[in-house]
């Protein structure tokens, strides 16, 4: 395919020098005594990370590691928008009949999240004991090393259209998805708009409405009569914390992303603090290293569209700027999707942890697994759990076995 080009990350030396200069000139705020994490990222942490980013962190070493991943770019055009160069990882298994799996990251995630599950899914089972997959992991438009649109209105429909066209361009007429955060939202949009192509989705993020007696009578009855299990009881408090203490970023990004963008585009310390807070608050005591954090934030800082572009997805999803009919919004994504099988992996320290009866209102749920630990970035925090769950859902005896025609993931 001549239009699909190999891609190598190569940040210009001048951008590296500019980053170090900006970090050296950073002006930090003061901090109230004993504030801890209550008011956001602690001053001592941000100062330490900024100093490390400036003086010790080696982007070239990180770049070399990232470039070990097979990366490509290709132009994709959505109806009514300009063509965009889309960056993606693509690994084809050596097993004929491998299941095409589209891994979709969210915010503040990126394509690197797939790296810990890539080899186990594409090589780890040889299609004998477990199914194997062809894995595609794009940088969403406005993220990573993909371009972003200049026209308003690039919303859920366009993100889904972009990824569906990418999969078709790679020769996958049918495929499955895996994701959390915006990966969940885009997977749900694909299920609504392209059920003939997107055959099943495995999600590690809970967001749904409670069952209603008029729409989901059996689930509503189960929800009314059956006590919550320990995970669901904990989920009530975790979800309440997020709604009361953790959603500020969402409101800002959904209403005034341009204002926030000035800080993200101009100040690496602002970009660091804004993202680092989520890496801390949304994970389950994950032992982040300085190098992990700096690479994570650097992918945003050096991104093709710039770090400010990444937050526009929030605004475009909740605003109908072009007056389109039947716009896919958060409520629409929660509606039942016939014919597309669903699977859920529940992690206790995600930002929303909902009862099983809630998530089952969205479609034919053929897989559910509760985990004792883990948070929002499951593929990074708990890669073994994601690999195990995906294999179980799509493997022999699983609820989504054989969902892609002619591709079971097994050698025989």
Which phi and psi (to 5°) does residue 354 adopt? -110, 160
In the predicted structure, residue 125 carries a pLDDT above the cut 80:
no
Mean pLDDT of the chain: 96
- CA end-to-end span of the chain, whole Å? 29
Confidence of residue 188 (pLDDT cuts 50, 70, 90): very high
User: pLDDT, tens digit, for every residue of 263-273?
Assistant: 999 999 999 99
Give the whole-angstrom CA distance, residue 358 versus residue 388: 24
Measured over the CA atoms of residue 234, residue 240, residue 243 and residue 246, the dihedral's sign is negative
Give the whole-angstrom CA distance, residue 379 versus residue 178: 10
**97, 410 contact by CB (below 8 A):** yes
Confidence of residue 124 (pLDDT cuts 50, 70, 90): confident
User: pLDDT, tens digit, for every residue of 193-222?
Assistant: 999 999 999 999 999 999 999 999 999 999
3-state SS class at 360: coil
In the predicted structure, residue 2 carries a pLDDT above the cut 90:
no
Report the 10 Å Cβ neighbour count for 68. Answer: 8
Give the whole-angstrom CA distance, residue 167 versus residue 186: 14
Give the whole-angstrom CA distance, residue 408 versus residue 298: 38
Residue found by looking up tokens 């590690």 in the block:
204
* Better-predicted residue by pLDDT, 52 or 123: 52
- pLDDT value, residue 1: 47
The Cα angle at residue 204 between residues 269 and 146, in degrees rounded to 5: 50
**23, 50 contact by CB (below 8 A):** yes
User: pLDDT, tens digit, for every residue of 53-96?
Assistant: 999 999 999 999 999 999 999 999 999 999 999 999 999 999 99
Give the whole-angstrom CA distance, residue 357 versus residue 363: 11
What is the strand order of the sheet 5-6 is part of?
A: 5-6, 71-76, 84-91, 133-138, 99-104, 175-179, 198-203, 337-346, 363-370
In the predicted structure, residue 297 carries a pLDDT above the cut 90:
yes
Comparing C-alpha atoms, which of 51, 3, 7 is closest to residue 168?
3
The reported pTM is 0.97
Report the 10 Å Cβ neighbour count for 195. Answer: 14
- pLDDT value, residue 330: 94
User: pLDDT, tens digit, for every residue of 322-370?
Assistant: 999 999 999 999 999 999 999 999 999 999 999 999 999 999 999 999 9
**89, 144 contact by CB (below 8 A):** no
As a whole number, mean pLDDT of residues 132-137 equals 98
Residue 376 class from Cβ within 10 Å (0-12 exposed, 13-18 middle, 19+ buried)? buried
Give the whole-angstrom CA distance, residue 178 versus residue 163: 13
In the predicted structure, residue 412 carries a pLDDT above the cut 90:
no
- The two tokens of residue 188 are 């749900």
Pairing of strands 363-370, 337-346: parallel
As a whole number, mean pLDDT of residues 234-251 equals 96
3-state helix, strand, coil in the chain (%, to 5): 45, 15, 45
């Amino acid at each position: 395919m001549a239009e699909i080009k190999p891609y190598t990350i190569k940040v210009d030396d001048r951008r590296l020098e500019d980053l170090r200069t900006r970090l050296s000139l950073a002006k930090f705020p003061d901090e109230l005594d004993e504030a801890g994490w209550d008011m956001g990222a602690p001053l001592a942490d941000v100062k330490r990370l900024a100093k490390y980013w400036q003086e010790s962190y080696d982007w070239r070493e990180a770049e070399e590691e990232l470039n070990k991943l097979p990366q490509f770019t290709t132009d994709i055009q959505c109806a009514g928008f300009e063509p965009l160069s889309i960056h993606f990882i693509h690994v084809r298994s050596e097993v004929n009949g491998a299941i095409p799996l589209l891994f979709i990251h969210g915010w503040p995630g990126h394509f690197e999240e797939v790296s810990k599950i890539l080899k186990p899914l594409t090589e780890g089972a040889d299609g004998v004991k477990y199914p194997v997959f062809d894995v595609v992991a794009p940088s969403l438009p406005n993220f990573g090393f993909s371009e972003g649109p200049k026209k308003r209105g690039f919303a859920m429909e366009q993100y889904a259209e972009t990824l569906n066209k990418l999969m078709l361009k790679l020769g996958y007429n049918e495929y499955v998805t895996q994701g959390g955060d915006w990966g969940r939202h885009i997977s749900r949009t694909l299920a609504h708009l392209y059920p003939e192509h997107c055959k099943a989705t495995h999600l590690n993020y809970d967001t749904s409405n409670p069952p209603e007696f008029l729409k989901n009578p059996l689930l509503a009855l189960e929800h009314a009569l059956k006590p919550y299990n320990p995970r669901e009881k904990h989920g009530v408090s975790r979800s309440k914390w997020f709604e009361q203490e953790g959603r500020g970023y969402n409101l800002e990004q959904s209403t005034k992303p341009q204002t926030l963008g000035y800080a993200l585009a101009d100040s690496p310390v602002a970009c660091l603090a804004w993202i680092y807070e989520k890496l801390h608050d949304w994970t389950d005591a994950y032992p982040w290293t300085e190098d992990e954090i700096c690479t994570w934030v650097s992918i945003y800082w050096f991104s093709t569209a710039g770090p400010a572009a990444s937050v526009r997805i929030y605004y475009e999803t909740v605003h109908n700027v072009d007056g389109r009919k039947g716009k896919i919004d958060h409520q629409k994504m929660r509606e039942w999707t016939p014919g597309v099988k669903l699977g859920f992996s529940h992690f206790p320290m995600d930002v929303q942890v909902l009862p099983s009866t809630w998530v089952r209102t969205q479609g034919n749920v053929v897989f559910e697994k509760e985990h004792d630990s883990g948070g929002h970035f499951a593929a990074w925090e708990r890669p073994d759990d994601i690999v195990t769950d995906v294999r179980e859902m799509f493997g022999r005896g699983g609820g989504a076995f054989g969902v892609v025609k002619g591709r079971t993931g097994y050698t025989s």
